[in-house]
Amino acid sequence: MLLYFDDQEAAATRLAHAAGLPASRIERHRFPDGELKLRLPAALPPHTVLYRSLDQPNEKLVELLLAARTARTLGATHLTLVAPYLPYMRQDIAFSPGEAVSQRIVGPFLASLVDAVITVDPHLHRVATLEEVIPGADTVVLTGAEVLSDLIVQRRAKPVLIGPDAESAQWIARAAARHGLDHAVCTKVRSGDRDVAVALPEVAVAGRAVVILDDMASTGHTVAAAARLLREAGAASIDAAVTHALFTPQAVELMHGSGIGDIWSTDCVTHDSNVVPMAGLLADALRRLQQAHATPG
């Protein structure tokens, strides 16, 4: 069975359909003081899947704690968390004394709740694998780069893929390799959350369709800075594609104002820009986990 919350019903039911699983919504009630009461199905199968993408994570992590611990009392002996977006992955070291290293806290917290985690493009820097972050749990990492690449070549003829910073290089390389596309990566100097300087790479963009591709975008400042430079360099069109649309309310307006035409994203994070469903890839990952769990050794 796949359990989900009402605010992510569309993506969760797409996954349930693709995986051939019955789906059941977790009921929520909010008390006047802000506390939550959840109600799950009265009986759960031994293998239960919990779908919860963890953007805007603070309250969702509490929901996950309540749901996972309750599921254990209702018959679930093996819990798989499908979290297309994982939060608190970016801070993996303390940059100044006394800082909480959120990755080292949230990862073990998830491991204490579930047996397996499936996610998409986790934003890891100095840590090589998700297994190091979520110790003891089976982990499956998928990417949105290739399915976004499939969409891009349908929408634009022979586009150039541009990564807005060095961290995007891995996603750019995978997306470009799928269809043999030209690609390059900008360099970025960030002075604050909204103070970003970008330098274009040495790649010919004049007269060509360009798509800025990254794993996530929130304020849109880095993408917008790259777009302005691409427009000055003579790009025929500029679009943006991201796995995780973590956009603030002003981000889309900012990006369009910088010269970006279309904005495309996967449904890992619910947003009006969602055009690429991840259900097929997530369902395949669930089947692989089930097969591995069923195979002795």
Mark residue 98 as left, alpha or beta (left: phi above 0; alpha: psi -120 to 50; beta: remaining).
Answer: left
Cα–Cα dist 165/199, whole Å: 9
Q: Which listed residue (37, 60, 158, 188) is catalytic?
A: 188
**Amino acid at position 131, single letter:** E
Q: What are the structure tokens assigned to 141, written together?
A: 């990492």
CB 226 within 8 A of CB 198: yes
Matching residue, tokens 């199968």: 45
Beta bridge partners of 222: none
Cα–Cα dist 106/86, whole Å: 9
Q: What are the structure tokens assigned to 190, written together?
A: 């960030």
Cα–Cα dist 126/109, whole Å: 20
- Is 37 in the active site? no
Q: What are the structure tokens assigned to 237, written together?
A: 């069109």
CB 3 within 8 A of CB 19: no
Cα–Cα dist 123/85, whole Å: 9
φ/ψ of 2, rounded to 5, equals -110, 125
Q: What are the structure tokens assigned to 151, written together?
A: 């969409």
Q: Which residues are catalytic?
A: 188
